[in-house]
Amino acid sequence: MRYLDFERPIEDLDRMINEQEDYTKKTGVEMGNEIETLKRKRHQLIRDTFYHLTPYQRIQLARHPDRPYCLDYIRLLTSDFVELHGDRKFGEDPAIVGGFANFDGTSVMVIGHQKGRDTEENIVRNFGMPNPEGFRKALRLMETAERFKKPIISFIDSAGAYPGIGGEERGQAEAIAFNLMRMSRLRVPILVVVTGEGGSGGALAIGVGDRVLLMQNAYYAVCTPEACAAILFKDRAKAASAVSSMKITGEDLLRLGIIDEVIPEPVGGAHMNWQETADNLRESLLRNLHELQNQTGDELIENRYRRFRSIGEFEEIKERPLQFKTREFSEIENQEQKAKNPFSAVSA
């Protein structure tokens, strides 16, 4: 098990418990009371730590290398998964996976970002950062789902689209923009789940859905906290300060209307119990999918449009509430202009 910085006290207790248990096995000396006392302390410490997480600690949990990734959720939630490859234009991008699967008796198209578990796999998967061909593959699969009238489940977990020269040459921005346009018009239900990192256009390119769900310790943002800190403070090390102002964790996103639901995770994070995490997500997906399947294609498109158009709505307050200019108002405005620029009449 890998520990984060703020989990070091828990790591110390785990080490003490393991040492006591090993000593009992080697010597036969019973240490049951001491071990139970340490376990109770550990349990209380975990509760105290994870019930009072700071926003940046949640970001660290969202990036935990032991969290379940897209293929793990597919294995835990579905059966008969058939992975499809390639965008039929340039090539295959392993940073995005997708294909048909059976979800609780319903045939669905599942798509998502896929990170690696070690350095070698991360290089293959490009750390979950797609190139244009990845987004075009995702769109090809979504259009296939629409053709066969199958719902779409999209798993988001990426720091963002890959910003390399090759991706830019092959139309990275165009691929993301085209996905946004086409996803908004698909005539089948789309469920989006942010399982870890939801970064920028890399997330949005597969994130236009009828329901947007967020795991409890995931985040959804225009950029990473480190990038924000670099822009605002010229120092990436101040990411913890930046994230508090970014409002990118579940509670804030739900209040702002950017997401529809926060999926609870086990105490300690999703990596502590994959099955419990998947069960919580299954319940939400089934409930939301059932609601969406009762809507027609036209209703889905209209409601999806209204959902995204309502994000960031504000009421404009006009300084001068006049709908048209009267002659008197025009004369006053001309006098004000002349007072500001006494040479305007001469130049005219």
Q: Which residue has the tokens 């939801």?
A: 198
Give, for 284, the enclosing helix (H) or strand (E). Answer: helix 274-293
- What letter represents residue 235's amino acid? D
| Domains identified in the chain and CATH numbers | 11-52 (no CATH), 60-309 (3.90.226.10)
Q: What dihedral do alpha carbons 195, 200, 203, 204 form, nearest 10°?
A: 130
Q: What is the DSSP letter of 104?
A: T
Length in residues, the chain: 348
Global confidence as pTM: 0.84
Give, for 15, the enclosing helix (H) or strand (E). Answer: helix 8-27
Q: What is the per-residue pLDDT for 19?
A: 84
Q: What pLDDT, in 10s, does the model give residues 53-112?
A: 899 999 999 999 999 999 999 999 999 999 999 999 999 999 999 999 999 999 999 999
Q: 90 vs 81, 207, 211, 268, CA distance in Å?
A: 24, 23, 31, 41
Q: What dihedral do alpha carbons 59, 60, 61, 67 form, nearest 10°?
A: 110
| Percent of the chain whose predicted confidence (pLDDT) is above 70 | 89
Q: Which residue has the tokens 């036969």?
A: 28
Q: What pLDDT, in 10s, does the model give residues 297-313?
A: 999 999 999 999 988 87
Q: What pLDDT, in 10s, does the model give residues 61-71?
A: 999 999 999 99
CA 268, 274, 278: angle at the middle one, nearest 5? 115
Q: For the chain, first and last CA: distance in Å?
A: 78
Q: 139 vs 77, 116, 186, 206, 210, CA distance in Å?
A: 22, 22, 10, 8, 16
Between 317 and 300, name the one with better pLDDT: 300
pLDDT averaged over every residue in the chain: 89
Confidence band of 18 (pLDDT split at 50, 70, 90): confident
